[in-house]
Structure 1
């Protein structure tokens, strides 16, 4: 199959997706559980004379007035990135907190499945790509447990041919997961394309055939255009750019 890009038609054999902001709507899903987790973590440390308040910590991580800021730690980083940022200001035990945070997120997702909103008919999109002979995977900076939980709730976990999270590969933009995808799927890197909503995603995609930017999280149109080979309003448009040989 061919992918129509702003740099001409390119052979495509595999497409990998980011998760938050690309396949699922990030606007509401992570605000409440992240605030809940951060308040729980900081409760033992926040004092009247603390130099950083919980509200300021939320802003540093990328939650401002109840909204997630594009390309922030919460939007594009890992749970470890979040804990590292908090650890700059408070003496938390990052190692012991990691699994606790993941379990808190998992329990929240299971209790609030209605908060997980796919961007378009993701099951149809993935199925159609696979019907065209294109292998499909997901590479996310979210951890394995919430990733699997989210996609099981959406009933699409079984559709992925490859999954990479920071629990088994270095986080984006390190290329290890792309190299693993190439080997596991038996596809040359130049025939793999990555779909994402952030500048970090587009930097990661420079290690393969190229980045397909989606504008569903508010990234700057011109910057995404400069950093990608194709820009879409959302993944819902992707099938329009897949053509036969």
Structure 2
């Protein structure tokens, strides 16, 4: 069982890396959301989701860095992380709903959504709900922060030469479930319509910068269409 908590995360990381390479070669991250016939709700969702999701990730990283081996951040830091994460989670979920629900119920003429797209929203919602459940776990206290003892200890160890699968093997089921949900989200991300949300703008800026560097000095750049 402990081997599972080593094989699954590295498999998810491999899928994440290979998937992004495949997506780049396939369409340069010109995702579904680049279509001009998106409705107003989807355009709003395409702006709201990355903002909320990015803040959630930043809050979790701050929590992981600020937590001790068995204790959560103290005082104002913990309150700030909690408030920011809760608000950003709602914002990210709202953005995801605006992005996915119109096409799930309207059967648009744009490219058909895949089965991966159909499970993306439920996976995101499951991630949010599991995060709330472990955040308010009554068995976590100032002297025993279960998230730091399980998820954080396990995740940090994956980037060292000494993985710690026991941290998850002996964790309560809700913590194990959250770990599996996050691994699923990492593994499937490049194959969903969300793939270009973050990578797309980075790739486009990089390509634009290379194009400008190759132009002779003083040559005007072509306007964007």
Do both proteins adopt the same fold according to a TM-score greater than 0.5, normalized to the shorter chain? no
- The structure with the largest helix share of the pair is 2
- The structure with the largest strand share of the pair is 1
Question: What's the TM-score once normalised by structure 1's chain length?
Answer: 0.27
More relative contact order, 1 or 2 (CA 8 Å, 6+ apart):
2
Which is greater in Rg? 2
